[in-house]
Structures are given as C-alpha cells and as structure tokens.
Structure 1
Amino acid sequence: MMARMAQPSRVGDLLAGKYRLDALLGSGGVGDVYRAQNTLIGRTVAIKVLKAEHATDDSVVERFLREAKAANLARHPNVVDVLDVGLDDEGVPFIVQEFLEGMDLGQHLKRSNGALPYRQVLELMIPVVEAVGLAHARGVVHRDLKPENVFLARVGGAVVPKLLDFGISYIKPQPGDVRMTRTGMTVGTPAYMSPEQLEGTAGVDVRTDVWALGVILYESLAGRLPFE
C-alpha cells in the first residue's frame, strides 16, 4: 500500500480484473479520475478512484459511494451515466462512469468571451433544467450546480449537455439512513450558492439548485456573474 501511495498515479493498474487505468484525467480532494478501458468488452470509460489515504475513513467512503447512488437515482439522458462501482484488491472504492469527450460550459463561456446567444443557452440549459427537475422528484439535491459541472459532450455530430459531479449532493433520507451533512456545514461553490446554503442553514432544499441554475443562466446570457 505504501509503495502505491508514493506513485504519482495508478496508470496501468487493473481494477476488478477488467478495468485498466490508461491515463490520469484529473485529481480532486478525495479522488482521482482516469480514462480507462473495460478490457472484457473494449469500452472506454471514466473511473473515479478514492485516494488511498481516505480508504479507511468510513465517512469519506460513504460520501464517495453516495455520489454514485445520487447519480443513479437521477438517471436521465442529460446526467452522466454511472455504469458500475467496485473495490480494488486493497478495498479502495471506485466509480465507473461513461467517458465523455468535449468541454464543460465554463470552458465554453471562456472561449466565447462571455455571453452566448440566447438560443444556444436555451438549447444547452433546458435539458439540464429538466434533468435537475427529475433529480428533485427523486429526492436528490445537487448542491453544486455551476458551469464546470455542465459538460458539453460531443455525441456524433451533436452537443449533449451532461450534468456532472454529485459529490456533495443531498439525498432525501430513508428510514435507517445516516445523516451525512451536519447543520452549519457549508458545501458548494460560493458564486453559485444560495444565501441559505452560504450560511450553512439547516433544511437547504431544491430551491438552492433553482438559485444556482438562475446564476448559470444569467452568466451565460450576460457574460458575467450577477454578483461580483
């Protein structure tokens, strides 16, 4: 384990006997994302692997796996598809998702020097709004909606917006569930957070996502944030 943790990445590792990690795509606070290959069927996928130092922290592992659960609950053509979850040989969890090519909305806004034509904004954001609405109906609040979490995937000759990263989402608890977010705990990206989310107020609900969607729409149309 210690030898692996000293390595800069896990490129070349084989997970669950079939997922070969081919390239490191990005790294976050708790996990690394790789382009990978399902060697049994030859499919390219994206795999998020929990960093080894967090693998023994039950609360971090629970949050990590809840990301997959939330995305699965919110299944929609405009939500990134979770294909599998598993553990490597040392018990480190990973999440397998569809591999997307393209850029996120934040990158697109920068390349467009800010404001987008309103028809393009409607084409990109109406599917995202519908996906968020479905998530809400299934008890999931994303809580980190922002341009960087709207991926503009190239599918054939079309651009398909895909909602990403349910890592800090809230799932309406069922009987027996453990509460994962403490009152007074602030999570999210400040520029897109509602006032109650910024304050860490208990009971943050679907309205915080509605606020964030409004900020994204404003930024896409005006070329700047509503509050600066």
Structure 2
Amino acid sequence: MHSDAFDVIPFEDIKGDWKKLGSGSFGNVYKANYLGIDVAVKEVLPSNDYDVAKYFEREWRLMKEARHPNVVLYLGLSRAPDGRIFIISEFIENGNLRMYIHDKTKPFPWRLRMSFATDITRALAYLHARKCIHRDLKGE
C-alpha cells in the first residue's frame, strides 16, 4: 500500500558515534545505531533549488516503497534539533564494492565477481521495472 506519510524516527533515538562513511549526492553518510541495530544515516543538505527538492522527494518515495533483497532497506526520516534532515536506512557490512575490489589482501575469484554482478543486475532490473532509473550507481 502506498502512503505519503513520512516514517519519522525521533532524532534522539539515533545513537552511536556517527562514524562518517563517505559523501553522497545530498551530503555525508554516517554509521549510527537505531533500536539496537546499525544503520546508515544519510544527511540531506538544505537547498532552495526546486529540482533538488523534487529529486529528494522522488528518491524518498522510491526508497520507501522498494522491497528487494538487493536494494538497501529504507527505515525512515529524522530531523535534528538544528533542522537538518536525515534518511535512515539499513547498514550494509563489509565496506563498499570499490574497497572490496581493490583490497589486494583478499582473493576476488570469478565466481564471487559473477555473484556481485548478478546481484547488482537484479537490483537494477527491479528498479527499472518500477520505472526508476538509478542515475547514481557507483562502487562506493
């Protein structure tokens, strides 16, 4: 069922040291903890640009409705006391794909490469079937 209501997560319920993981299209991404589970916290940089606001709204709707084993699970939105907005989603362990590919201390056999490629393809096929073009696919 489709709902326009935001899934609000109280900011004070997001715990941890907020370790910075990287930067995304909208701002920094952090690792934190919510209800005892590790989560990714994506900062939404403020913008008065109408196109940016529409892009954010579109991303929020897609994340909210996406349910696929190869697509990150959206948990909700949170607003800090200073007004900043954050998207809260599941945290995926073991770093990003780019780090994994370039880590020369670990083997990267062809079977695993094919498994990664298949999982990514399944996720993109799912999104494309929902009339979504990702536009921000990257290895980090």
TM-score, reference length from structure 2: 0.73
Task: Report the counterpart of residue 104 of structure 1 in structure 2.
Answer: 96
State percent identity of aligned pairs.
Answer: 34
CA distance in 1, matches of 2:49, 2:37: 31
Deviation, structure 1 residue 116: 4.5
Alignment of 1:137-216 (within 5 A): 137-148=129-140
Aligned residues: 130
Matching of residue 64 in structure 1 with residue 60 in structure 2: no
**Among 5, 12, 29, the residue aligned to 1:17:** 12
The answer to whether the 8 Å contact 2:66/2:73 transfers is no
Residues 1:93 and 1:23: Cα distance change in structure 2 (over 3 Å): closer
Residues 1:144 and 1:50: Cα distance change in structure 2 (over 3 Å): closer
Residues 1:58 and 1:86: Cα distance change in structure 2 (over 3 Å): farther
Matching of residue 42 in structure 1 with residue 41 in structure 2: no
Task: Report the counterpart of residue 156 of structure 1 in structure 2.
Answer: none
The answer to whether the 8 Å contact 1:31/1:50 transfers is yes
Bigger RCO of structures 1 and 2 (CA < 8 A, at least 6 apart):
2
- Give the letter for the 2:15 counterpart: R
> What stretches of structure 1 of length at least 5 have no aligned partner?
1-14, 149-228
Alpha-carbon RMSD across the aligned residues, in angstroms, is: 2.8
Task: Report the counterpart of residue 135 of structure 1 in structure 2.
Answer: 127
Larger displacement relative to structure 2 (133-142 or 62-71): 62-71
> What stretches of structure 2 of length at least 5 have no aligned partner?
1-9
**Among 69, 76, 92, the residue aligned to 1:77:** 69
Q: Which protein has the larger Cα radius of gyration, Structure 1 or Structure 2?
A: 1
TM-score, reference length from structure 1: 0.48
